[in-house]
Structure 1
Amino acid sequence: MSHSSPEQTCMQASLPTAIGATLAAYAWERNKVGQSGASLHRLHGRSDAPDLFLKHGTGAIADHMTDEMTRLRWLGQFVPVPSVVHFVRTPDQAWLLTSALKGKTAGELLASRPELGPAIVDALAAFLRRLHAIPVEACPFNSDHTVKLRLARQRIDAGAVDVDDFDDERAGWTAEQVWASLQDHLPLAPDLVVTHGDYSLDNLLMHDGEVVGCIDVGGAGLADRYQDLAIAWNNLGDYGEALPDRLFLQYGLPFPDRRKLRFHLLLDELF
């Protein structure tokens, strides 16, 4: 596994006037990690101002960033997330400027300190319980499997699914094969909670043994709890068999629903 820096120094990007003045005298680094389709820069180096992150996208990515902005502002009432410093939207572009959270991602910590695996999993489970405890009646966003299936179908028809990125279990499959397998798992009786939408190791920031915030929340909303559990469980599988099992135990599900787990792993392949 590579431990190279996920960032590289770069020149300042072209910016709307409303944001440009805010970012004077910052040093810029482009983040090379992630699959959101947006460009992401870390802005740092000012002793008189905090570090920031700037995300930019066009087309459908700009739409997703608009979703992320509204969810950041809502989720911040309940769990730590980056604060929205500035947001600019034009018909075909979006710029989202947010505060930088302290800490390292759970993925970075596991890669560099594998002996901390059990403690990291316990922290991930605790934060997920906190997220899933947000009252469902307070959530204005619907991200359940019916919504995601509709979006997945659109992505398949547009040829936007990266079949080369499928998990080893589905290596060589087509997107249509994944779609057909999903149908075999329906109907699904959802146990709705407020979900992150992409509860991966790269989207959870940790400091002093605790999760101190989550990022990339554009898909947050009401969905079955296995939407989050499946992604975290799958990520942890890269670090052995014990950590995924520990996640369910610490979360409070010693006997996970394997059918729901398989369904959400299949669904995630299409995004």
Structure 2
Amino acid sequence: MNDTLDHDGDHSPREIPSLAPDLPPSLATRLVGVDWHRNLVGEAGASVHRLHRAGEPDRHLKHGDGDAAVAIAEEFARLQWLQDRWPVPALLHFEATADRCWLLTRTLPGRTTYEWLADHPERAPEIAAAIGRFLRRLHELPSATCPFNAGHGLQLDHARRRLEAGLIDADDFDDERQGWSPEQVWDALNALLPLAEDPVVSHGDFSLDNLLMEADEGGALAVTGVIDLGRAGIADRYRDLAILANCLDEFDGDLRDAFFTAYGLDTPDTRKLDFHLLLDECF
């Protein structure tokens, strides 16, 4: 079980030992004898378990019903396309039953960049720069080859429907928007339009908990891969830049400069950063 420091300096478990969930027969047979660990970070409606068996690589199982099942199926489709294009988890099994989806992948090496920052604050600028270089490489994948659209026009339509259905959670807004209503976020978002897109293949939730990092034999740090790909698709590059810069701000407001410089941005577009953070509040 991995423990990391939260922002108040307390150790918080990121996973706990657990029993196996109810499994379809195909998975129950395949996963006999594994040790189960329930993930407590960023499940977003799905249940996520790490599976360990001595002498074998770890695996992760994500499963859920309702909207979570839809999201898992969307992630499966994106993972299929991203295999051998991005450093993403290898697909091992996908199954959809009458009311549930199951996605089994091989666990990527490394610890999350959140854990690295929490445990090694003295290396924070190095970590931020490594993430910037990594994102630049991800964004070099030709966007014309990607079959998934995540442009802000489509995302705005989805956000509007969530607003009208009362699904936007104001309690989950970032600190600078605590006390805002979903309608205020929507109005601020639309005040920044129109917005010209610079399309890339975007991760969509490019946050510290979705990036894995390792140190090489010489101690140099590098990002080894990305997880949680359910929102990946063609979108403006600032969709990823904004989310990661906002995450870095939780540790140190100066880290975004190291991140942007390593990415290759001398003068970030603050209007685009604001827009994509507001849009992210809607999901």
User: Which range, TM-score by smaller chain?
Assistant: over 0.9
Residue type at the aligned position of 1:150: D
Q: Is 1:167 matched up with 2:174?
A: yes
For residues 77-105 of structure 1, what are the alpha-carbon distances to aligned partners after superposition, in whole Å with 9 as ceiling and x for unaligned?
21211011100113431011110111100
Partner of 2:203: 196
Q: Once structures 1 and 2 are overlaid, which stretch shifts more, 155-164 or 30-39?
A: 155-164
Supply the distance in 2 between the matched residues of 1:150 and 1:192 (Cα, whole angstroms).
Answer: 18
Aligned to 1:219: 231
In 1, the alpha carbon distance for the partners of 2:149 and 2:99 equals 24
**Runs of 5+ in structure 1 lacking a partner?**
none
2:14 matched residue in structure 1: 6
State which of 26, 41, 62 in structure 1 corresponds to 2:49. Answer: 41
SS, match of residue 146 in structure 1 = helix
User: Aligned residue for 2:69?
Assistant: 62
Shift of 1:35: 4.3
CA–CA separation in structure 1 for the residues paired with 2:173 and 2:228 = 21
Instruction: Return the alpha-carbon distance in structure 2 between the equivalents of residues 241 and 13 of structure 1.
Output: 41
Query: Distance in 2 between the 1:266 and 1:199 partners?
Result: 15
Partner of residue 3, structure 2 = none
Structure 2 counterpart of 1:147, one-letter code: L
Percent of counterpart pairs with the same letter? 51
Q: Is the 8 A contact 2:129 2:261 kept in 1?
A: no
Q: Name the residue aligned to 2:97.
A: 90
Counterpart code for 2:68: I
Helix, strand or coil at the partner of 2:250: helix
Match of 1:74 among 59, 74, 81: 81
Q: Distance in 2 between matches of 1:93 and 1:147?
A: 26
1:237 paired to 2:237: no
Query: Aligned partners of 1:35, 1:82: CA distance in 2, in Å?
Result: 17
Q: How many residues align?
A: 270
AA in 2 matched with 1:36: A
TM-score by length of 1: 0.97
- Measured in 2, the distance between the counterparts of 1:11 and 1:35 equals 17
User: What is the SS of the residue equivalent to 2:13?
Assistant: coil
In structure 2, the residue matched to 1:246 is 258
Query: Which AA in structure 1 matches 2:269?
Result: D
**Is this contact kept in 2: 1:25–1:46, CA < 8 A?**
no
Offset, 1:46: 2.7
> Could you report, residue by residue, the CA deviation over 1:216-255 in whole angstroms, capped at 9, with x for unpaired residues?
0100010000000000000000111210122111111110
Runs of 4+ in 1 over 6 A off after TM superposition: none
CA contact (8 A) 2:61 2:104 kept: yes
Q: CA RMSD in A?
A: 1.1
CA distance in 2 between partners of 1:12 and 1:103 (Å): 24
How far, CA to CA, are the matches of 1:130 and 1:121 in structure 2?
15
Corresponding residue number in structure 2 for 1:265: 277
